[in-house]
């Protein structure tokens, strides 16, 4: 997620109207999870828009996910 936020910061300098959105749970009990405090900071800075949680990100879901030009899904793998 850090790379995504940094890319958003850089791209917004050239494309100030671009929107960078985050959808999904935050602050969950997982060592690799992002914290609510981090998300709140990014939103306050105007780097990202936090959309909350959703049951699906399928193309048929309501906007804004349905209207995204690019989606990035974090891959999960068992250890």
The domains of the chain are located at 2-67
Reported confidence tier of residue 5, pLDDT bands at 50, 70, 90: very high
Write out pLDDT tens, residues 37-57: 999 999 999 999 988 887 665
Nearest to 39, CA basis, from 53, 28, 49: 49
Q: What DSSP designation does 21 have?
A: E
| 55 or 79, which is more confident | 55
CA 77 from centroid of its chain's CA atoms: 19
Element (H, E) at 22: strand 21-22
Q: Summarize the confidence of residues 2-20 as an average pLDDT.
A: 91
**What is the 3-state secondary structure of 38-63?**
HHHHHHHHCCCEECCCCCCCCCCCCC
pLDDT at res. 14: 94
Q: Summarize the confidence of residues 12-32 as an average pLDDT.
A: 85
pTM of the complete model:
0.71
């Amino acid at each position: 997620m850090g790379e995504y936020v940094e890319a958003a910061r850089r791209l917004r300098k050239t494309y100030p109207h671009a929107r960078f959105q985050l959808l999904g749970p935050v602050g969950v009990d997982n060592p690799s999870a992002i914290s609510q405090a981090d998300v709140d900071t990014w939103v306050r800075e105007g780097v990202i828009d936090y959309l909350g949680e959703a049951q699906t990100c399928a193309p048929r879901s309501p906007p804004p996910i349905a209207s995204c030009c690019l989606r990035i899904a974090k891959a999960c793998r068992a250890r």
